[in-house]
Amino acid sequence: MNSETVQQRGQRLVDLHSSGEIIVLPTVWDAFSARIAVEAGFPALTVGSHPVAEAFGLPDGEAQPFDEYLEQVSRIAAAVDVPVSVDVESGYGLPPQELIRLVLETGAVGVNIEDTLHQEEGRVRGRQELFDYIATAVEAAKGAGVPFVLNGRTDALVHGTELFEDPLAEALERIQAMAEAGALSVYPVGLPDAASVKKAVDAVSVPLNVTADPIDGHPAGGLAQLRELGVRRVTFGPKWQARLKEPAAQMLHAWRG
C-alpha cells in the first residue's frame, strides 16, 4: 500500500513531467495489472476508462457509473507505491471543481480530460469552453494544495474533416490553449505519422502524450524514435489489455478437453 501523502505522490508525478525525459505510463485497469506494471519498473501509471470498462463488461464513453469507476481507481492507487493518473474522459458531466475533488479522494494525482462530451451526444467543446474547463480544473487542484498533472486531450483528429476544415491545425490550436490553461501535458489523439508528431511537439513547451501499442509502437516509431522526435509522455490506452487476449487464450487452449 502507498504510504506517501497525496501531496508527495503528486509532486513525484509533476517532477516526472518536468524532468525533460520521456516517461512511459502504462495504462492499467485493476490492482493486478497495476502491480505488474510497477514490478516491471515503471515510475507512474495511468488508469484508462476504456480498459476499466472492458474489465466490467461495459462500453467506453462515460457509460460506467462514475462512483464505481472511482472505486476502482481507489483500489489501484492503494495497491501501488507510484503516482497514479486517471482518465476521466470529458468529466462525466461534472463541474471541474467537483471532478477534481472526487479524483483527489481516490489518491490519484493526475487526470486526462478530453474535449468530446459523451453525455451530450458527442458534442465537442469549443476552444474557449475547453480552455475554461481545463483552467478551472487546474485551479481546483491548486486550491486543494496538491501538486497535480492535468493531461489535456483533444479529439480534433479523431473527428476529422467532418467537424474541422484542417483537423491537425485545430488539434495544434487546442493543445496550445490547454497548455496555456495550465495543463502540464497535452494529448492530441490520432497523430498519424512522425511529421505530425513533430509539429505537435514543436507547438507546445509541455510534454506531448502519444498512445503506443506495447508491441507495434506508434506510427511514428518505437520508444527511441519517439524520444528523438521530442515526445515526452507515452501511454497505452486500451492497447496493452487488448494485447493480453491472444496469449491468455493460447494458455487456456490445451485445457479445453
Q: What percent of the chain has pLDDT over 70?
A: 99
pLDDT tens digits, residue range 209-235? 999 999 999 999 999 999 999 999 999
* pTM of the entire predicted model: 0.94
6-250 topology per CATH: TIM Barrel (3.20.20)
pLDDT tens digits, residue range 160-189? 999 999 999 999 999 999 999 999 999 999
pLDDT at 44 over 70: yes
pLDDT (0 to 100) of residue 4? 80
Mean pLDDT, range 195-214, rounded to an integer: 98
pLDDT at 3 over 80: no
pLDDT at 1 over 70: no
Distances (CA, A) of 16 to 24, 42, 43, 142, 162: 10, 11, 8, 18, 37
Model confidence at 254, in pLDDT bands (50, 70, 90)?
confident
Of 51-55, 60-64, 77-81, the least confident = 60-64
Distance CA 184, CA 206 (A): 6
pLDDT at 120 over 60: yes
End-to-end CA distance of the chain: 40
Mean pLDDT, range 8-22, rounded to an integer: 97
Q: What percent of the chain has pLDDT over 90?
A: 96
pLDDT tens digits, residue range 73-103? 999 999 999 999 999 999 999 999 999 999 9
Mean pLDDT, range 45-49, rounded to an integer: 97
Backbone angles phi, psi at 9, to 5 degrees: -65, -40
**Burial per residue of 123-154, b for 16 or more beta-carbon CB atoms within 10 angstroms, e otherwise:** ebbebeebbebbbbbbebbeebebbbbbbbbb
Distance of CA 241 to the CA centre of its chain: 15
